[in-house]
């Protein structure tokens, strides 16, 4: 079995993240990295839609919220044990998978912009349900709940989220490199040609929607447990926009890109909000955040990973070209007619 450079890099980064809490046990750093891992999972799920299938969805927060509320409600109304937490994750993923399947069947037949608007409508519907079903969700006020005893230590929860991230990355990597993943890429590049080859593109788009919804639900479950609190903000458009921007800034269609995008955005939010405590000019830090987005899109139109990959290929082609001297190149006789 041949070990590639990508596999070596993956295990080195994973080992570094495992060792980090033993080297630096800063509570702030552990919480920040945990948030990066959670939103990295969410961004990877969105990349399955946008990067590998070419689908723009404005309703992705719906699945994130389903996972968050399922975990929060089950832990509040039942025993807050590790078994119940794991059961809540599976239950949330099941509900998210069923809803994404039904929504996919209803909406994925439409053109891209109509699909985006309809997913936004479905997400808004679930947001209204969360606001009005106060006997369960407590509306906009939200509610707190107890976490399992094992996760009261932030470092233990950090390792659990890191393990989830590693497993999801490997599963999604195998998925996008499978025959199904190749067909999704073909749908993204040219859906009509893929149809002409005999593939039922709706079938594969629904599969992508279900996979993305299930993974987003897992991220929502982890997010609610990290806060020990949930309210309707987990279903707002802000969550979907965060996932979209993380994917675009990191690099569409790269899996690693959304992880890097999540790290950049979460660290930028943390740093700018921290500066606001010391410097009054940063009190409106969201404005600087918007400027950061604009600069990232202008200077990295293909995302950070895509731009670095393009620079690497340019450097490689120049290096190959410089090795061949003009005298060594074969000359072809020109023909004039």
Q: Which residues on adjacent β-strands are paired with residue 143?
A: 230
What is the DSSP secondary-structure string of 169-193? HHHHHHHHTSHHHHHHHHHHH-HHH
Query: Does residue 10 sit within a domain?
Result: no
Domain presence at residue 326: no
Confidence label for 97 from pLDDT (cuts 50, 70 and 90): very high
Q: What mean pLDDT do residues 104-131 have?
A: 87
Percent of the chain with pLDDT over 70: 93
Q: Is residue 138 part of a domain?
A: yes
List the domain range (segments joined by +) for residue 146: 24-321
Among 218, 212, 92, which Cα is nearest to 160's? 218
CA max distance for the chain: 88
Give the pLDDT confidence score for residue 315 in this predicted structure: 79
> Is residue 117 assigned to a domain?
yes
pLDDT at res. 158: 95
What pLDDT does 323 receive? Answer: 60
CATH number at residue 233: 1.10.3470
Please state the domain count of the chain.
1
pLDDT band for 225, please (50, 70, 90 cuts): very high
| End-to-end Cα, the chain, rounded Å | 56
Task: Give residue for tokens 């749908």.
Answer: 187
* Averaged confidence pLDDT in the chain: 87
In a domain, 331, yes or no: no
In a domain, 198, yes or no: yes
- Which residues make Cβ contacts (< 8 Å) with residue 72, sequence separation at least 6? 143, 145, 224, 229, 230
**Residue 186 domain-assigned (yes or no):** yes
pTM to 2 decimal places: 0.89
| Cβ-Cβ contacts under 8 Å for 178 (sequence gap 6 or more) | none
Angle formed by the axes of helices 285-299 and 237-250, to 10°? Answer: 40
Residue 56 falls within a domain, yes or no?
yes
Q: Is the pLDDT of residue 110 over 80?
A: no
- pLDDT tens digit string along 140-184? 999 999 999 999 889 999 999 999 999 999 999 999 999 999 999
- Going by the DSSP 8-state scheme, the letter that residue 229 receives in this structure is E
Q: Is the pLDDT of residue 324 over 80?
A: no
């Amino acid at each position: 079995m041949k070990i590639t450079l990508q596999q070596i890099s993956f295990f080195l980064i994973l080992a570094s993240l495992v060792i980090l809490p033993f080297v630096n046990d800063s509570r702030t750093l552990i919480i920040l990295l945990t948030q990066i891992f959670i939103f990295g999972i969410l961004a990877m799920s969105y990349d399955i839609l946008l990067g590998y299938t070419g689908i723009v969805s404005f309703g992705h927060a719906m699945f994130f919220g389903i996972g968050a509320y399922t975990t929060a409600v089950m832990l509040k109304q039942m025993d807050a044990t590790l078994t119940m937490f794991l059961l809540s994750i599976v239950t949330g993923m099941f509900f998210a998978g069923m809803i994404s399947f039904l929504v996919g069947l209803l909406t994925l037949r439409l053109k891209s912009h109509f699909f985006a608007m309809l997913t936004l409508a479905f997400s808004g519907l679930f947001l209204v349900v969360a606001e009005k079903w106060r006997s369960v969700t407590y509306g906009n006020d939200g509610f707190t709940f107890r976490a399992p005893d094992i996760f009261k230590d932030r470092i233990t929860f950090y390792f659990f989220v890191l393990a989830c991230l590693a497993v999801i990355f490997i599963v999604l990597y195998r998925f996008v490199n499978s025959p199904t993943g190749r067909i999704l890429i073909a749908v993204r590049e040219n859906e009509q040609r893929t149809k002409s080859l005999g593939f039922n593109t709706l079938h594969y788009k629904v599969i992508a929607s279900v996979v993305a919804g299930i993974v987003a639900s897992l991220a929502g479950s982890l997010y609610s447990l990290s806060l020990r609190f949930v309210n309707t903000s987990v279903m707002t458009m802000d969550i979907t926009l965060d996932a979209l921007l993380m994917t675009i800034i990191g690099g569409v269609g790269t899996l690693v890109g959304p992880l890097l995008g999540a790290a950049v955005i979460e660290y930028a939010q943390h740093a700018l909000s921290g500066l606001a405590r010391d410097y009054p000019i940063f009190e409106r830090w969201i404005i600087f955040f918007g400027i950061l987005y604009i600069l990232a899109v202008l200077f990295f139109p293909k995302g950070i990973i895509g731009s670095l990959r393009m620079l690497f290929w340019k450097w490689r082609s120049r290096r190959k070209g410089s090795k061949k001297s003009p005298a060594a190149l074969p000359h072809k006789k020109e023909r004039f007619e």
